[in-house]
Structure 1
Amino acid sequence: MKKSYLPLILLSLSAFSGFAQKKPAEKLVPYVKPIIGTERMGHTYPGATVPFGMVQLSPETDSIGYELNGKYNPRVYEYCAGYQYEDKTITGFSHTHFSGTGHSDLGDFLVMPTVGAVKLNPGTADKPGSGYRSRYSHQNEVSEAGYYKAKLDDYNITAEMTASTRVGFHQYTFPKADDAHIVLDLTAGIYNYPDKNVWTYIRVVNDTLVTGYRQTNGWAKNRVLYFAMRFSKPIMSHGFRNESTKQVYRGFWGKFNQNKNFPEIAGQRIKAYFDFKTTGGEKVKIKMALSPVSMQGAINNMQAEVPGWDFDKVKAAAQQQWESELQKIVIQTPSKATKENFYTAVYHTLINPTIYMDTDGQYKGLDQNVHKANGFTNYTTFSLWDTYRALHPLFNIIDPQRNNDMVKSMLAHFDQSPEHMLPVWSNSGNENWCMSGYHSVSVVADAIIKGNAAGIDVNKALEACVTTARKRDYEGIGYYMDKGYIPDERNGVSVSSTLEYAYDDWCIAQLAKKLGKQDIYEEFSKRAQNYRNVYDKASGFMRPRLADGSFRPKFDPLTTIGQGFIEGNAWNYTLFAPHDPKGLIEIMGGSKRVVPYLDSLFTMHLPDKFFEETEDITRDGIIGNYVHGNEPSHHVAYLYNWTNQPWKTQERVRMILPKMYKPTPDGLGGNDDTGQMSAWFIFTNLGFYPVAPGSDEYSLGSPAIHSAVVQLPGGKTFTVTAKNQSDKNVYVQKVLLNGKPLDGLSIKHADIMNGGELVFFMGNKHK
């Protein structure tokens, strides 16, 4: 009998042995370096957040005011994320930040731990002791996904922070002190100009709980954010300062009397401080919960997400959230630098848009009323001029449900909009009206066309797109509809807006076609050809056109200012018709003309006046006259695929990658723009790119990794493999899709989402 069981035992042991030898998945969080992009113009921040979190708890390194000696201060642009790597001091830790933008706001509820005499102003960088700021060193700084740490040298305090979706968790290790303080500055903020604060309010509820709110009129014209702040130990005493009246109020919990000791204060510019006695090495912890609805909503959010005081547990949970997201794309490459670049890019793509609602689903809408998100998660921070290009298409692959919720958030915005428009650049229940185009229609159309429409009323979505595109009184749309272009006299960015509207109109046409709306399809297909109306064959460039139909006589294709374009010049924008590359190449004269044009874009030397006009902002992200730091160029390297020299796409993208992305603080070639720069990096490393979202096709390039496994919904995987990969083998010899030779230079969305394998065979000579 024993012999009869032997094969079963051996089989079981063999199976167990194989299981035991299986390597655990490599941890990917260690490859994330949030410090990338914090120097110069990347405009990222190094602090703690979770994927798409409402809280971004990060250090501020200076308090640059909007005005300097009564005039605009150009250094404001450097501090869009509140932090610059080269700075030597930290002024505090605030709870809201944009990631990688070229404009900013936020920086709400700045907290700073101190010891010694109470100081309620930040002081100056050249004299740190003049205020509550402190010197620090990068040697004592740690920046990880979901965690930040720094030593505040002037106070001998170690500051640590982590976060949940709606709660920022601080942990400060103090020295022995009878005069330890926590400063709460409601006047501090990013993009801070006089009278940005409309009103602030603080209420000391009891000796461990403080609540309040801040209303601002900044980039977002009416933003109200509420907070609940809880301390891990009782407040010994507290005080307020009203910066508007210069009055100071104090309250002592040992003798607390509501009538005498001012438990609350309101005013335009309010600051507070809270006093403690600490023993050496004592940890004072603070939980700061946010809400777009109410102070009680903030309290509820805190109780729901971080009810206890275990800092390490919250940190571990935050990093596990990041690990789960990072594991959606597992790459293989011998280069540690590539892995750090790649997973930091994935990290940066998963910061924005941000969740904007309480745990019960309530949020403040565009109409300033309180709404409840039923059946979806409400999002904000839609930098759509940037992110329609690659960020949202990336979500349609790795996280379609989240992108579905973002589309629903945009449709809710439309319903609440007095203008009946989809968002242009929206944040925190506000429309910021920034940049040109109506690119939310690209995001909506792309999601529905790619089958990501669960729970979306697709006919209502099309109606919202059409209504937005027919808004005659918005940014030249009336002229565009009547003339087929926007006259130069009527709009300062007439050419780029005409080109961007034409692309958006093509997206609407594709959505209408999918839904069987033939009349709308024909109307917007015709409008999509309007890009041809601003092409001047005589000069060979897209060019401003006057109301009488003639082209502007005085014209410089290299000049970026005052020539009818936004964040680019005629050389860049002449190549902007991503929905019709074939047609664009035809009107430009075919491959014979376009290939040298593309070549020269990457190799030309720009005159100094170009950089003087842009105040050197563009210098970080430029190769020749190819401006990778500005998004209108992001599809350009892939245009060779529509010429007779498609191999140059492979050459160009592999050249761009190491020049524009490095695992260093200054390693981003321009603003990350809420993840668009990073999304380009991810797609391009994988070997394909969505040249025209709204299409179900991706244009092939040259993968820069050895392999990648993309996790898809339903347990499917899509694998990319690059055979004979090396830095020199940048040219694609052949491509197999699921074992069969690929005919053409693109793959379809279904090829990815159905699962399978895409194999590139690489070599050092082009075919």
Structure 2
Amino acid sequence: MRHKFLLSIALLPLFSIAQKTQNFKYIRPLIGTERMGHTFPGATVPFGSVQLSPDTDTISYELDGKYNGKVYEYCAGYQYEDKTITGFSHTHFSGTGHSDLGDFLIMPTTGELFLNPGTATNHAKGYRSAYSHKNEIAEANYYKVKLDDYNITAELTTSQRVGFHQYTFPKSEKSHVILDLMAGIYNHNEKNVWTFVRVENDTLITGYRQTQGWGRTRTVYFAMSVSKPFKSYGFQNNDDKNIYKGFWRKFDQSKNFPEMAGRKLKMYLDFDTNENEKVKIKFALSPVSTSGALENMKAEIPHWDFEKTKNEGQMLWEKELQKIEVETISEEDKINFYTSMYHAFINPTVYMDVDGSYKGLDQNVHKADGFTNYTTFSLWDTYRALHPLFNVIQPKRNADMIKSMLAHYDQSVHKALPVWSHYANENWCMIGYHAVSLIADAVAKNNADFDTNKALEAMISSSNLDYYDGLEYYKKLGYVPEDKNGASVSKTLEYAYDDWCIAQMAKKFGRNDIYETYSKRAENYKNVFDSTVGFMRPKLSDGSFKKEFDPMDTHGQGFIEGNAWNYSLYVPHNPESLIELNGGKEKFSKHLDELFSMNLPDKYFANTEDITRDGIIGNYVHGNEPSHHVAYLYNWTNQPWKTQEKVRMIIKRMYHSGPDGLGGNDDTGQMSAWYIFTSLGFYPVAPGSPDYALGSPLVKKATLRFENGKLLEIDAKNQSDKNVYVKKIELNGKEISKFITHEQLMNGGKLTFYMDKKPSK
């Protein structure tokens, strides 16, 4: 009763907000579900632990159970062009370029029972079903689809830790609900370590799943409650290596036996259903225990009112969207803006039970004391714009995310901050030690509600792991040598930026010795610049530049997810020095012009997933994050109007409201955060600095509501799709140019852009 009362009190202001505006109705979860966006269309609440969504060809089994090897296309479990749905699982990444999760797939069926999903071309021999987008609805915290093979309507919604299913069945004496613990995203047959299911009674099932996917050791517990008692149930254990298999066959464990364990386990529940009868399922997750999952369910959804849960979740989205109110040129711009906010507020995800318990990196149970613990940190992507966005409109959450990272540091045997972490695992994916950027940015923007001494210690420790990705050579030589460690130029450049972040942090707290050391390291980008060719270029351990060099090639040239053209512009902490290396402002501007206008020959698109035509304008790769600051570099030249011109061109080319409306992986919100900042007219070129580069806003008007209680109004006068240039900018009536500080933004007031169709030179 106490939980219900507190929840009701907490939601009162949300319903009041919703009566005024309903911005959540502009959210289109299907944006990014086609091609490379890798978003999912299902239900979740802001930063929710559960992402309940349909999977289409994720499993991709042949009929004999063999896995067909698809991974990259199905990072989010769903591809818009697929014609069949395999079921609805409870955990999904949003916008990543790597696969995992897809835990606890549920599929309702009727008629003959199949426990193999079948294939997209032969689904009649499996439990998957055909569906049509005409019968599909995807909204904030709500997904609905008709499963054509079974005439079943599936509806999904969520709370923070609980997935809520509602299935409308036809009349049948052979209605089933399948729970496939074998299914998942990423190499399914080899992923499971162990699964366990326990039938507590005829409406309650508990269990867990251990996997070794991208996260090498990951355990998720569940409690599954059904609104209607099942008349019978059974299991299928496909694990030929189960040493107990022969023993258990001495009696029938496959039917109505109360527990089962194995690597390749599937379960089914049988029902009699009347016409249009609704069978509901509450499926709670926990990182700690089945009892924790049960407590999460009791606390969050103690009832069977599907619409109530759906509406409460939508009001949570409305509360988040109210932090930025926009007036746009077109309806599509508003859809893109609020869907970008939606995608930006999916990850990182809350990772703890209602009592604060969670499993740590050391695989022990911890309790978050005084903060909300988060997971899913795709830091190579999100340090650039997503976390800086949080410092503007989600500062409390961002501080808790940093506290979560410091807990990760405490639990790490390496004494390192996270690189790419999720579900008590460090994946060591991508490069850099960019958690230091998040911390430095929070400190620079006066959002340091955490132990800053410990944070600085963790930053220094993370920057000195000799065995990590060429750092031993970087510290010794001032660069990563390509003959000792691949992607060497990218690593050198990103380490140098991270070192600058550490220097800024040290300077803030008067640690001059650390400041001087890391300021020197921050200049290491100069060591890989070859003035004879005008590009950053891989260097060998003997000090010479690698002879074979093609600045447009992405393979074997010392770069990751980019080429020399892209990465030679990556010195975000010192654009002035970068411009000087490139021969001055005029020459550098021409270099930027060429980047956007050049044509890449077809040979550079062969056999690569890193650069595709989806996210490219000339040789500018918006689909990969190292280029996200590039259009703003004109602000350091004598041609800032080209920043205005380019960002408005990028935003129209790379974003639209269709399923293929993202020009690359959303990368847990980074692409969306770029859109939000750019639409508002400013961007954090160098997180760790309090400064933002000004651009050309897409909105006509915006109101930002800050947690400090102040408002910032943005007004773009004479705004239109043709008036992309800025004639003049005023902050509270006083003219400013090119840059604005975080303090100026957070003090509120009015930021006015005077737009024109001609550049102001």
Q: TM-score range by the shorter chain?
A: over 0.9
The one-letter code of the counterpart of 2:371 is F
- Matching of residue 582 in structure 1 with residue 546 in structure 2: no
Specify which of 490, 495, 498 is matched with residue 496 of structure 1: 490
Q: Which residue of 1 aligns with 2:676?
A: 682
The one-letter code of the counterpart of 2:530 is D
Shift of 1:23: 12
Q: Which residue of 2 aligns with 1:354?
A: 349
The one-letter code of the counterpart of 1:244 is D
Q: State how 1:234-633 maps to structure 2 within 5 Å.
A: 234-245=229-240, 261-454=256-449, 456-615=450-609, 618-633=612-627
1:468-493, Cα deviation, whole Å (9 max, x unpaired): 11112211111111111011111111
Shift of 1:194: 3.4
Shift of 1:644: 1.3
Shift of 1:102: 0.4
The one-letter code of the counterpart of 2:349 is T
Unaligned runs of 5+ in 2: 1-16, 246-251
d(CA) in 2 for partners of 1:121, 1:65: 11
The one-letter code of the counterpart of 1:766 is P
In structure 2, the residue corresponding to 1:345 is in which secondary structure?
helix
1:104-158, Cα deviation, whole Å (9 max, x unpaired): 1000000000000111010011112110000100001000010000000110000
Q: Which residue of 1 aligns with 2:739?
A: 746
Q: Which residue of 2 aligns with 1:760?
A: 753
The one-letter code of the counterpart of 2:747 is N
The one-letter code of the counterpart of 2:684 is P
Conserved 8 A contact 1:44-1:81: yes
Question: CA 1:281 to 1:761, structure 2 compared with 1: closer, same or farther past 3 Å?
Answer: same
The one-letter code of the counterpart of 2:726 is V
1:729-755, Cα deviation, whole Å (9 max, x unpaired): 11111110011111x311000011111
Q: Which residue of 1 aligns with 2:98?
A: 103
Shift of 1:73: 6.2
1:602-629, Cα deviation, whole Å (9 max, x unpaired): 1111011111041585211000100000
Unaligned runs of 5+ in 1: 1-21, 250-256
Shift of 1:496: 0.1
Shift of 1:326: 0.6
- Matching of residue 76 in structure 1 with residue 71 in structure 2: yes
Q: Which residue of 2 aligns with 1:706?
A: 700
Q: Which residue of 2 aligns with 1:148?
A: 143
d(CA) in 2 for partners of 1:193, 1:316: 34
Shift of 1:260: 8.8
1:165-198, Cα deviation, whole Å (9 max, x unpaired): 0000000000001010000000000012432100
- Matching of residue 692 in structure 1 with residue 686 in structure 2: yes
1:25-77, Cα deviation, whole Å (9 max, x unpaired): 32101100000000000000000000000000000001345999999967421
Question: CA 1:582 to 1:51, structure 2 compared with 1: closer, same or farther past 3 Å?
Answer: same
d(CA) in 1 for partners of 2:280, 2:541: 63
Question: CA 1:114 to 1:547, structure 2 compared with 1: closer, same or farther past 3 Å?
Answer: same
C-alpha RMSD of matched pairs (Å):
2.0
Specify which of 204, 208, 215 is matched with residue 209 of structure 1: 204
Specify which of 24, 29, 35 is matched with residue 29 of structure 1: 24
Conserved 8 A contact 1:65-1:192: no
d(CA) in 2 for partners of 1:597, 1:186: 53
The one-letter code of the counterpart of 1:186 is L
d(CA) in 2 for partners of 1:613, 1:589: 35
The one-letter code of the counterpart of 1:480 is Y
Question: CA 1:621 to 1:23, structure 2 compared with 1: closer, same or farther past 3 Å?
Answer: closer
The one-letter code of the counterpart of 1:498 is T
Give the percent of matched residue pairs that are identical in Structure 1 and Structure 2. 67
d(CA) in 2 for partners of 1:613, 1:581: 33
d(CA) in 1 for partners of 2:253, 2:677: 59
Question: CA 1:484 to 1:576, structure 2 compared with 1: closer, same or farther past 3 Å?
Answer: same
Q: Which residue of 2 aligns with 1:647?
A: 641
Shift of 1:246: 10
d(CA) in 2 for partners of 1:142, 1:689: 34
In structure 1, the residue corresponding to 2:35 is in which secondary structure?
coil
Specify which of 46, 49, 56 is matched with residue 51 of structure 2: 56
d(CA) in 2 for partners of 1:524, 1:66: 51
Q: Which moved more, 1:547-556 or 1:610-619?
A: 610-619
TM-score by length of 1: 0.94
In structure 2, the residue corresponding to 1:402 is in which secondary structure?
helix
d(CA) in 2 for partners of 1:701, 1:266: 58
Shift of 1:333: 1.4
d(CA) in 1 for partners of 2:195, 2:66: 26
d(CA) in 1 for partners of 2:228, 2:280: 8
In structure 1, the residue corresponding to 2:150 is in which secondary structure?
coil
Specify which of 207, 210, 216 is matched with residue 221 of structure 1: 216
Question: CA 1:721 to 1:314, structure 2 compared with 1: closer, same or farther past 3 Å?
Answer: same
d(CA) in 2 for partners of 1:67, 1:748: 57
d(CA) in 1 for partners of 2:607, 2:751: 44
Shift of 1:288: 0.2
Conserved 8 A contact 2:235-2:254: no
For these two proteins, the number of residue pairs brought into alignment is 737
In structure 1, the residue corresponding to 2:688 is in which secondary structure?
coil
In structure 1, the residue corresponding to 2:189 is in which secondary structure?
coil
d(CA) in 1 for partners of 2:145, 2:746: 43
The one-letter code of the counterpart of 1:128 is H
Q: Which residue of 2 aligns with 1:4?
A: none
The one-letter code of the counterpart of 2:759 is H
Question: CA 1:116 to 1:66, structure 2 compared with 1: closer, same or farther past 3 Å?
Answer: closer
Q: Which residue of 2 aligns with 1:181?
A: 176
Shift of 1:261: 4.1
The one-letter code of the counterpart of 1:463 is E
1:509-564, Cα deviation, whole Å (9 max, x unpaired): 00100011000001001100000110000010000001111100111111101111
d(CA) in 1 for partners of 2:69, 2:217: 24
Conserved 8 A contact 1:33-1:144: yes
